Amino acid sequence: MPALTDGRLAVVLHSHMPYVEGYGTWPFGEEWLWEAMTSSYLPLVDLLGEGAALTLSLTPVLCDQLEAQGIPERFRTFLTEMRRTTHALDAEGSRASGRGDLADEIERAAGDYERALEHYDSIGGDLVGALAPHAAWTSSATHAVLPLLATTPGVRLQLRAGIDAHRERFGSWGGGFWLPECAHAPWLDALLEEAGVHACCVDLTDVLGRGDPRHLCPLRTAAGPLLVPVDRQIVELVWHDEGYPSQGAYRDYHHHTTHHHKPWANDGSVYDRGRALDRARADARDFVERVRERVAGGGLCVCALDTELLGHWWYEGMDWLRFVVEEAGDLLVHLDGALPDAAPAPADLPVTTWGTPRDLSTWSGPAVADIAFAVRNAELRVLAQGRAVGTRALRELLALQASDWAFLASREAAGPYARERHRGHLEALEAALAEGGDGPVHNLVPHISRAPLLAP
């Protein structure tokens, strides 16, 4: 049973964006980054700056994009030209069709982008720098599903490139590591320990059973790292088809105007910002009450959420989180600070992920088996080159290994975009292997060492 007798809540925010900088056109590609910056990352800067005890994980591939050359200029152009124009066009069209109520809401929502511009300029266009004081956890270089990699050196490359990038950017690292897709296999533990990982999150819902009190207690692996179960019973109060974001008062994500603005609520009415904030405050109270019930007998409840869910996908998500912080008080703790007080149980686990059905099939099943095999084959081909392999080839391999392409293809979530990106990186890798050399690949993974691929 849990050793934290008074019970605690840790909210872990996993911040990640596929490598879309410089790629794609609406509705897929670089615009995802701009929208997440506007509605998720910039509001989070304020919340963390106010002292919220949230555990922040930043993936290296996200930081690479936020720091990429030309990002501030293109983001400002998106805010001042594209969004100003599209809001104005949709408001004009709504009024012309007799829907002044929709036009009013579209114009109100345009203010979100104006405020984002002011905020961005106030931090000198340096989002990574603004998040740096709170950047506790890192991840692998390009969010690869580590159990699906073909070789131990390949895993080491992903781990070392990601961890080295974090240390170089932020100066220190306490050993917190987000396993991409919560994908864990027992054979990874020794490699994680070797890399300096002290703790990572896992999804054991189908191993322990939903609601089992063992989800409130970290597990100690034989190799050393702590595995911290994510409490899906609590997570799904938010991240579920019937979770809080489905409430009628919240903004409808799925229905939109000609230029992709969203002036409706889930119940079909015109969106009412005040009504939605009242709902968010009530749902925050409900969330904290349910967590208190969950940990009444002690233990550590870990609610892990993708940062981009809050704001980008769930428009009121950051407001809800702010209300949770206010409501939770001392119940809310930083995960790293709570772990020393927990008495870990021994770990004896199968391969697990957060995917359905908690295995690797989302990233390797029949729908995407060609992607999975192509990525493994590419890793073996790069490894076979040994010391002759160039930095360009390593970077393209890392880009190819990102979990995002198989995930988006498996879920059919982005049309042909994911497979186009997969093919593009595969072709670029072929060219790099054929031509040699160390040319750059956009701004991806500038912090890279070849050493892991030179060892057996």
CA distance 273 to 285: 19
Phi and psi at 296, nearest 5°, equal -60, -30
User: Tell me, what's the pLDDT at 455?
Assistant: 42
Residue 447 pLDDT > 90, yes or no? no
Query: Of the ranges 139-148, 151-160, 353-362, 442-451, which one carries the lowest mean pLDDT score?
Result: 442-451
The whole-number pLDDT of residue 388 equals: 82
State the pairing for strand pair 177-178/135-139: parallel
Strand partners, 11: 303
Q: What is the mean pLDDT of the chain?
A: 94
Residue 453 has pLDDT above 70, yes or no: no
What is the pLDDT, as a whole number, of residue 451?
Answer: 45
The answer to whether residues 7 and 301 touch, using CB atoms and an 8 Å cutoff, is: yes
Range 442-447 average pLDDT: 68
Kindly list the strands in the beta sheet with 199-202, ordered across the sheet, starting from the edge strand earlier in the chain: 199-202, 226-229, 219-220, 345-346
User: What's the pLDDT band for 438 if we cut at 50, 70, 90?
Assistant: low
pLDDT of residue 443: 67
The mean per-residue pLDDT over the stretch 293-322 comes to 97
10-22 mean pLDDT? 96
Nearest to 185 by CA among 140, 131, 221: 221
Q: Which residues pair with 306 in a beta bridge?
A: 14
Model pLDDT for residues 78-95, shown as the tens digit of each residue: 999 999 999 999 999 999
pLDDT at 445: 72
Angle at 90 between CA 33 and CA 43, to 5 degrees: 35
DSSP 266-331: TTSSBP-HHHHHHHHHHHHHHHHHHHHHHTTT--EEEEEEEGGGBTTTBTTHHHHHHHHHHHHGGG
Residue 352 pLDDT exceeds 80: yes
Residue 68 CB coordination number (10 Å): 18
Residues 235-283 pLDDT 10s: 999 999 999 999 999 999 999 999 999 999 999 999 999 999 999 999 9
pLDDT tens-digit series, residues 171-201: 999 999 999 999 999 999 999 999 999 999 9
> Distance of alpha carbon 262 from its chain centroid, rounded?
23
Instruction: Show the tokens assigned to 317.
Output: 């998500």
The confidence score (pLDDT) of residue 268 equals: 98
Answer whether 445's CB lies under 8 Å from 395's CB.
yes
The pLDDT score that the predictor gives to residue 6 is 86
User: Does the pLDDT at position 387 exceed 90?
Assistant: no
> Per residue in 198-213, pLDDT tens?
999 999 999 999 999 9
- pTM for the whole thing? 0.95
Residue 26: predicted pLDDT: 77
